[in-house]
Amino acid sequence: MTACIVGWGHTRFGRIEDMDLESLIGAAANEALADAGVAPADVDEIFLGTYNGGMDRQEFAASLVKQIDASMRFTPATRVENACATGSAAIYRGLDAIAARRARLVLVVGVEKMTAADTPQVTGALAKCAYQADEAGISFPGMFALMMQQYFQRYGDKSDALAMIAAKNHRNGSKNPLAHMQKDLGFEFCRRVSDKNPVVEGQLKRTDCSLITDGAAAVVLADVETALTMDKAVVFRAHQHVQDQLPMKGRDILKMEGPRRAWSAAYEEARLTVEDLDVVETHDCFTIAELLEYEAMGLAPEGNGARVIEEGWTEPGGKLPINVSGGLKSKGHPIGATGVSMHVMASKQLMGEAGALQINGANLAGVFNMGGMAVANFASILEPLR
């Protein structure tokens, strides 16, 4: 055991016109500290996860967390960035601080204000996550459309399975009051090209893509000794980070080697297998990503991920419910906040605080957060401390 999540906060996700970057940070941080029963003055270190990439004018943002209370003025604060896995990277830096005994209590906030920019600006900002020496000019929808094309060429057309993933996540998100899109779109809408569901790139439709979203999420981390004195605690039974090379050239992207290695290392650390997990939040930036992640986490052999969704394994009543929160697809994908949000959603399940999303008997939760084309890969396994 390393450290525990002892409190959390989470703004609504969506197009939030009445909140800027600073107010999003403050809302999530204040809620997390109140939930944990921790005074701002008792926080030993702060980590802020935000990607930005030019989407918001405030680049130097780590100290914005301190604005919530004057007692935090001189508390160490560091910004963390690792593409779409920025939130998990920030949490892991907090775990490192506690493991090194530099800190007893750590505040981690993930945030993104994406709608301050228009869609072309957002697309351009995210494209900077690609290898600029060789892949500049290719958007992320373009890259995942290529991934989809290659998968279909190798294993057959899986459009029905991808539409089922989109429909599942929107159905789940319709029950999540914090989700960006709280609407059950249904399989037929997700399966067909239409004026409201146009092609974005290649064979990717709008319903295959995650949303441009504002939002923030925060967690308070504590060492185990401190966590045992607190009202609730979710412990990291495993946390593993695998960073692959940035260029796609020289990699078989369909093998998802980084995600596969991260999950394998997490299972080894926790002394568990995928069959032991009760619920998972995984990185469905595009529906093809969730399909491939089924294979990477060990639910199906390569090329057989469609079976997982087709047989209902990942539905709330299935053998391993996945993205009960609605995932990035419905809940939204504010880049820096996503990994923190995923850990919050998993922790709520384990503490029985998930409301209409609750999976009865959830005792072991997995979280997988990915940055770039399976470049930054973070796999966590969580359980109640007691």
d(CA 309, CA 166): 10
Q: Give which of 96, 9, 89 is closest to 370, Cα–Cα.
A: 89
CA angle 236, 240, 242 (to 5 degrees): 160
Helix (H) or strand (E) holding 169: helix 159-173
The single residue of 84, 129, 190, 285 carrying the catalytic annotation is 84
Token digits of residue 373: 């084309």
Token digits of residue 52: 């930005």
CA angle 229, 230, 236 (to 5 degrees): 100
Tell me, yes or no, if 190 is annotated catalytic: no
Q: Are 289 and 327 in contact, with CB atoms under 8 Å apart? A: no
The single residue of 10, 239, 333, 343 carrying the catalytic annotation is 333
d(CA 34, CA 13): 20
State CA 37 to chain mean position distance: 25
Token digits of residue 140: 């992320």
Q: Are 220 and 36 in contact, with CB atoms under 8 Å apart? A: yes
Token digits of residue 299: 């639910």
Which residues are catalytically annotated?
84, 333
